[in-house]
Structure 1
Amino acid sequence: MLCITCKNLSFQIICKDCQNNLLIPSFHKREIEDGFFNYSFYTLSELEDLILSKYYFHGDRVFNILAKLSFAKFAQNFSFTNEVYAIPIDDHTRHDFSHTAILARHLKSEFITPKYNTLKASNIIKYAGKDLEFRQKNPRKFQVKNITNQITILCDDLITTGSTIKEAKKALEKKNNQVLFSLTLADAKL
Structure 2
Amino acid sequence: MKCLSCETFSLNIICKTCQEKLLRPSFHKRELADGFYNYSFYSFTEIEEFLTSKYYFHGDRVFNTLGKLSFKKFAQNFEFEQLVYSIGIDEHTRHEFSQTAILSKHLKSKYIKPLYGKCKATNIVKYAGKDLEFRKKNKRKFDIKVSNKSIILVDDLITTGTTILEAKKACEEKNNQVLFCLTLADAKI
TM-score by length of 1: 0.98
Structure 1: how far apart are the matches of 2:4 and 2:124? 29
Q: Does 1:139 align with 2:139?
A: yes
Q: Does 1:76 align with 2:79?
A: no
Structure 2: how far apart are the matches of 1:50 and 1:127? 19
Structure 1: how far apart are the matches of 2:125 and 2:119? 16
Following TM superposition, by how much is the alpha carbon of 1:96 offset from its aligned partner in structure 2, in angstroms?
Answer: 1.2
Who is 1:93 aligned against? 93
Structure 1: how far apart are the matches of 2:120 and 2:167? 9
Aligned CA RMSD, in angstroms, stands at 0.6
Structure 2: gaps spanning 5 or more residues = none
Q: Does 1:118 align with 2:118?
A: yes
Query: Structure 2: which amino acid aligns with 1:103?
Result: L
Query: Structure 2: which amino acid aligns with 1:117?
Result: G
Q: Does 1:5 align with 2:5?
A: yes
Paired residues for 1:38-187 under 5 Å:
38-145=38-145, 147-187=146-186
Give deviations 1:19-71, integer Å, cap 9, x for gaps. Answer: 11110000000001111000000000001110000010000000000000000
Task: Give the 4+ runs in structure 1 shifted more than 6 A.
Answer: none
Query: Structure 1: which amino acid aligns with 2:128?
Result: A
Structure 1: gaps spanning 5 or more residues = none
TM-score by length of 2: 0.99
Alignment: residue pair count: 189
